[in-house]
Amino acid sequence: MLEWVAIESDSSNVLKRPDLHRMMETTAQKLRLMGGTVELVDIGEQELPNGQTLALPKVVTATFGTDPNKHTVCVYGHVDVQPAKLEDGWATDPYNLTDINGNLYGRGASDNKAPVLAWIHAVEAYQALSMELPVNVKFVIEGMEETGSNGLDAMILAQRDTFFSDVDYIIISDCGWLSRRPALTYGTRGNCYFFAEVEGPKQDLHSGVYGGTVIEPMTDLIGILDTLISPSGKILIPGIREAVAPLSDEEWKMYQDIQFDMDSYKNKIGVTQLMYSNKVDLLAHMWRYPTVSVHGIEGAFSDSGSKTVIPAKVTAKFSIRQVPNMDPAMVKKQVTDYLHSVFAKRKSPNKLKVTMVIGAKPWLADTQHPLYEAGKAAVKRVFDMDPDLIREGGTIPIARTFQDVTGKSIIMMPIGGFDDGLHSQNEKMSRYNYIEGTKLFIAYLNEVSQIKKTSV
Amino acid sequence: MLEWVAIESDSSNVLKRPDLHRMMETTAQKLRLMGGTVELVDIGEQELPNGQTLALPKVVTATFGTDPNKHTVCVYGHVDVQPAKLEDGWATDPYNLTDINGNLYGRGASDNKAPVLAWIHAVEAYQALSMELPVNVKFVIEGMEETGSNGLDAMILAQRDTFFSDVDYIIISDCGWLSRRPALTYGTRGNCYFFAEVEGPKQDLHSGVYGGTVIEPMTDLIGILDTLISPSGKILIPGIREAVAPLSDEEWKMYQDIQFDMDSYKNKIGVTQLMYSNKVDLLAHMWRYPTVSVHGIEGAFSDSGSKTVIPAKVTAKFSIRQVPNMDPAMVKKQVTDYLHSVFAKRKSPNKLKVTMVIGAKPWLADTQHPLYEAGKAAVKRVFDMDPDLIREGGTIPIARTFQDVTGKSIIMMPIGGFDDGLHSQNEKMSRYNYIEGTKLFIAYLNEVSQIKKTSV
């Protein structure tokens, strides 16, 4: 894990693309040395906002066993990471895995390098004990998850009748538990990520010399960003809320029954008040309602200190979490039309450009499926308790694609802790979750092998 | 000038403080070698937002001549600069002075290193020709102008009855012409620079996992920033507009008579439309009305690419240009009270902290004073034309202090071009302005010596 975390496989930073390529090669090499049939699949290029193109990281596929009498599971994971810099407030170098009191700190530790490695170790465990794998195991490991799995959809579609043809089940371990209790995840939110660029003067201007004479792009940008969401969390973009599937009584009851401590959640985040004060509303807005987050603004003055500048071109980054029955293509149109309409009311001479750079759909599974029953049994065996059945507020963009393209059943089986700090400073994976998680995967392969062939 | 521009004397960046100290020492050494009586005046420490303290750059004072029968002028200038990085969009390394077609590009070239050097060269010219200086010349060169001249006020007050006791006139060349016609400047706007910090969760959060459950600091910050100024440029903070001195008929007429080409101004900035479509309104809002500029946000995601983060603590940087009869202490209260009141309406659990980090007053002079008559004569002599009488939208914080503390008359005599790009990418000083400007200063010293002692 030390070696994997040390590779700065940040898929959002084009300057780190060589590291990302190296990460894919390292992953492939590991699987090759284990005797798998490994391929590095070329998925083409990505187009950058400036019109240039850049090679996408290859997708690693691997196969262990081809026995037609066994079930075949396909484990999906990713080895790219979110950006991380020591200056962001990390206690340790984010790319130097550091063990502090049984927690392994490093960017990508929990999201998603350790879970991928835990699956690899599960296969190695069978190999080390000279035991036959109870099911055939395939891997699909990608390197663009953090920026929307660019290129993967097409690759899955292209290999639907080859690599994926004999796959029965797809397993994803790219999420976390809700509490200290193990969990199975049956839904995720999608994500539409937008750039809203306002361009005015041809270069930055001195705010003393020019202030008052020009219509400032920052003022315009702040004005339109302020129309996205109300202080109480109501999304103001027309059509978004109307598309959301209503909360059913069953769902309400299910949420009501989930063990969830609002106070420890508040403490973990470090806030005195949440957006909703009751458990059901909170869980619902975490998992099955959309929200808008403004991540930041590129092109303005963002360093410490003071600078008296009128930034000439500023680009806001914001995203809207997707839930059933929202459609990213429709959301793109709703957001673009809305922002242009509120911008037009300002009568500004500046130019607004709205781009959707990620459009990932939500995903939802049936918790009564044998795949989930097998999951419950494996959790019982390793942890001696029943798992929480939860949804995930974050996005695993590929879950929905797997479902739509291959028609196979999917299970999400997390091993990450509830406090792993994904995408934040001081991301970590505990030794406990890493080791017990590996045991869970070993047990799960065995449980899946018990599923009757007819119930597929 | 090459050597001076090469020193990254960025006063807003605490990491560059050693460079800034070196800049002051370099300036002092230059003046010493010319035979001046030079002092490096310790002006104490500055307190940083985090509570730490940092030594301020010393102020350089120098004296050339002490003849009681001559007038004594004191030239004020600064050798600190605004931040600059090649990545901001500079065509050349900002700290490597580069000559392109007679323009000298580099951070601080026009603001304010070349003007300071032109004054030094003016004294050297008299020395090189073995001519007696027609007036005694003093220098006050500081290193904190770009962040509000921290410590200088106290130093001027402390030396009012010593260094400044025999000074008759103060000359400032820290501004620019309005067009290709030379100008004398008789007013400047002040500046109140604010930090508005909204703090929520104890660390950055994944926007998928937590989005919808927390009240996001960015949403709050954007909400309050959007209440500062209207799309048409109207300041919405109660009390600010009421404090502004009304535009007199005389002023209106004076602005009407100034040669100012709206189209070339638009072209220079690269915009199709300005905040006001007539000359008088535009000049008035450039020089004698306040405005609000939002410079940027610290703590949010500001790099290229996409990051799905909920920033935990975000700090907006904005400033309000000051004009007669606004008072920075009052503006600080007005802004702080107003932002806290609009923030309170949001009922957010996040914490808002408003700090005013710069509070610089505006300044206004009498254009009929003998000092300005001497200026008009010097311009006539060197350029064979009458100067524009203009005001400056930017701030020379110390002008007002000189006036209030020493009671001396002040003139601003710019040599910077109208298109020098102060505080922007590709700041420059033309060879023409640098050389002719030096001649202007030489001529001006001579003109000042003609002022009758009684008219002081």
| Chain A residues within an 8 Å CB radius of B319 | 207, 306, 308
Instruction: Say if the Cβ atoms of A297 and B302 lie within 8 Å.
Output: yes
Read off the pLDDT of each residue in B92-99 and give the average, rounded to a whole number: 97
Q: How confident is the model at residue B455 (pLDDT cuts 50, 70, 90)?
A: very low
Half-sphere exposure of B422 (CA within 13 A, CB side): 27
Structure tokens belonging to residue B340: 């806290």
| Chain B residues within an 8 Å CB radius of A311 | 295-296
If we measure between CA atoms, which residue out of B213, B212, B217 comes closest to residue B201? B217
Minimum Cα–Cα distance from B294: chain A residue: A218
Burial of A54 (0-12, 13-18, 19+ CB in 10 A): exposed
Helix (H) / strand (E) containing B17:
helix B17-33
Instruction: Say if the Cβ atoms of B394 and A208 lie within 8 Å.
Output: yes
Minimum Cα–Cα distance from A193: chain B residue: B306
- Annotate A265-279 with DSSP letters as a single string: HHHHHT-S--S-SSH
pLDDT, position A455:
46
Let me know how long chain B is.
Answer: 456
Provide the Cα torsion A151, A153, A155, A157; round to 10°: -150
What is the CA angle B294-B298-B303, rounded to 5? Answer: 105
**CA A205/CA B421 separation, integer angstroms:** 7
Instruction: Say if the Cβ atoms of B295 and A425 lie within 8 Å.
Output: no
Minimum Cα–Cα distance from A219: chain B residue: B294
Least confident interval from A229-243, A386-400, B294-308: A386-400
Is the pLDDT at B414 greater than 80? The verdict is yes
Is the pLDDT at A456 greater than 70? The verdict is no
Is the pLDDT at B395 greater than 70? The verdict is yes
Q: Which of B8, B80, B174, B220 is catalytic?
A: B80
ipTM > 0.85? no
Structure tokens belonging to residue A268: 């973990």
Q: Are A295 and B218 in contact (CB under 8 A)?
A: yes
b/e sequence B42-62, b meaning 16+ C-beta within 10 Å = ebeebeeeeeeeeebbbbbbb
Instruction: Say if the Cβ atoms of B203 and A426 lie within 8 Å.
Output: yes
**Looking at the partner chain, which of B229, B306, B425 has a beta carbon nearest the beta carbon of A203?**
B425
Least confident interval from A251-255, A322-326, B376-380: A251-255
**CA distance, residue A423 to nearest chain B CA (Å):** 5
Q: Which of A8, A10, A19, A80 is catalytic?
A: A80
Is the pLDDT at A396 greater than 50? The verdict is yes
Structure tokens belonging to residue B266: 């638009």
Q: What confidence tens digit (pLDDT) does each residue in A119-169 have?
A: 999 999 999 999 999 999 999 999 999 988 889 999 999 999 999 999 999
Q: What confidence tens digit (pLDDT) does each residue in B222-251 have?
A: 999 999 999 999 999 999 999 999 999 999
| Chain A residues within an 8 Å CB radius of B147 | 305-306
Within chain A, what is the greatest distance between any pair of CA atoms? 78
| Chain A residues within an 8 Å CB radius of B358 | 306
| Chain B residues within an 8 Å CB radius of A232 | 347
Is the pLDDT at B454 greater than 70? The verdict is no
**CA distance, residue B112 to nearest chain A CA (Å):** 14
Within chain B, what is the greatest distance between any pair of CA atoms? 78
CB pairs under 8 A between A and B: 340
Which residues, in sequence order, are CB contacts of A373 under 8 Å at separation 6+? none
Q: Are A139 and A77 in contact (CB under 8 A)?
A: yes
Instruction: Say if the Cβ atoms of A205 and B423 lie within 8 Å.
Output: yes
Instruction: Say if the Cβ atoms of B208 and A229 lie within 8 Å.
Output: no
Structure tokens belonging to residue B202: 């104890």
| Chain B residues within an 8 Å CB radius of A282 | 213
- Annotate B343-412 with DSSP letters as a single string: HHHTT-SSEEEEEEEEEE--EE--TTSHHHHHHHHHHHHHHSSPPEEEEESS--HHHHHHHHHH--EEEE
Q: How confident is the model at residue A454 (pLDDT cuts 50, 70, 90)?
A: low
CA-CA distances (angstroms) from residue A446 to A70, A71, A416, A450, B381?
11, 11, 21, 7, 97
From the candidates B144, B207, B265, B276, which should be mutated to test the interface with A, based on the most A CB atoms within 10 A? B207
Fold of A191-245+288-360: Alpha-Beta Plaits (3.30.70)
Looking at residue B210, the DSSP 8-state letter turns out to be: H
Q: How confident is the model at residue B102 (pLDDT cuts 50, 70, 90)?
A: very high
CATH of domain B2-188+362-455: 3.40.630.10
- How many CB atoms lie under 10 A from the CB of residue B69? 6
**Looking at the partner chain, which of A210, A294, A426 has a beta carbon nearest the beta carbon of B393?**
A210
pLDDT above 90 covers a percentage of chain B that reads 87
From the candidates A105, A198, A219, which should be mutated to test the interface with B, based on the most B CB atoms within 10 A? A219
**CA distance, residue A235 to nearest chain B CA (Å):** 10
Asked if A145 is an active-site residue, the reply is yes
Looking at residue A442, the DSSP 8-state letter turns out to be: H
Mean residue pLDDT of chain A comes to: 95
From the candidates B52, B80, B150, B219, which should be mutated to test the interface with A, based on the most A CB atoms within 10 A? B219
| Chain A residues within an 8 Å CB radius of B193 | 306, 308
CATH of domain B190-245+288-359: 3.30.70.360
**CA distance, residue B301 to nearest chain A CA (Å):** 4
**CA distance, residue B182 to nearest chain A CA (Å):** 17
Q: What confidence tens digit (pLDDT) does each residue in A244-277 have?
A: 999 999 999 989 988 899 999 999 899 999 999 9
**Looking at the partner chain, which of B83, B211, B317 has a beta carbon nearest the beta carbon of A393?**
B211
Burial of A285 (0-12, 13-18, 19+ CB in 10 A): buried
Instruction: Say if the Cβ atoms of A298 and B298 lie within 8 Å.
Output: no
Q: What confidence tens digit (pLDDT) does each residue in B165-218 have?
A: 999 999 999 989 988 889 999 999 999 999 999 999 999 999 999 999 999 999
**CA B403/CA B370 separation, integer angstroms:** 16
**Looking at the partner chain, which of A213, A317, A422 has a beta carbon nearest the beta carbon of B209?**
A422
**Looking at the partner chain, which of A89, A296, A346 has a beta carbon nearest the beta carbon of B203?**
A89
Read off the pLDDT of each residue in B36-65 and give the average, rounded to a whole number: 94
**Looking at the partner chain, which of B147, B211, B282 has a beta carbon nearest the beta carbon of A306?**
B147
Least confident interval from A119-133, B48-62, B372-386: B48-62
Instruction: Say if the Cβ atoms of B309 and A214 lie within 8 Å.
Output: no
Instruction: Say if the Cβ atoms of B295 and A207 lie within 8 Å.
Output: yes
Asked if A80 is an active-site residue, the reply is yes
| Chain B residues within an 8 Å CB radius of A209 | 176, 286, 392-394, 422-423
Q: Are B46 and B151 in contact (CB under 8 A)?
A: yes
Q: What confidence tens digit (pLDDT) does each residue in B330-353 have?
A: 999 999 999 999 999 999 999 999
**Looking at the partner chain, which of B321, B422, B426 has a beta carbon nearest the beta carbon of A211?**
B321
**CA B354/CA A196 separation, integer angstroms:** 27
**CA distance, residue B315 to nearest chain A CA (Å):** 9
The SS3 of residue A59 is: strand
Peptide bond into B13 cis (omega under 30): no
| Chain B residues within an 8 Å CB radius of A222 | 222, 225-226, 294
From the candidates B192, B206, B318, B323, which should be mutated to test the interface with A, based on the most A CB atoms within 10 A? B206
Which residues, in sequence order, are CB contacts of A272 under 8 Å at separation 6+? A266, B349
Instruction: Say if the Cβ atoms of A83 and B307 lie within 8 Å.
Output: yes
**Looking at the partner chain, which of A272, A299, A395 has a beta carbon nearest the beta carbon of B208?**
A395
Minimum Cα–Cα distance from B207: chain A residue: A293
Let me know how long chain A is.
Answer: 456
| Chain B residues within an 8 Å CB radius of A304 | 13-14, 298
Instruction: Say if the Cβ atoms of B296 and A300 lie within 8 Å.
Output: yes
Question: Domain map of chain A by residue range?
Answer: 2-188+362-455, 191-245+288-360
| Rg (alpha carbons) of chain B, rounded to whole number | 23
pLDDT, position A341:
98
If we measure between CA atoms, which residue out of B181, B180, B160 comes closest to residue B170? B160
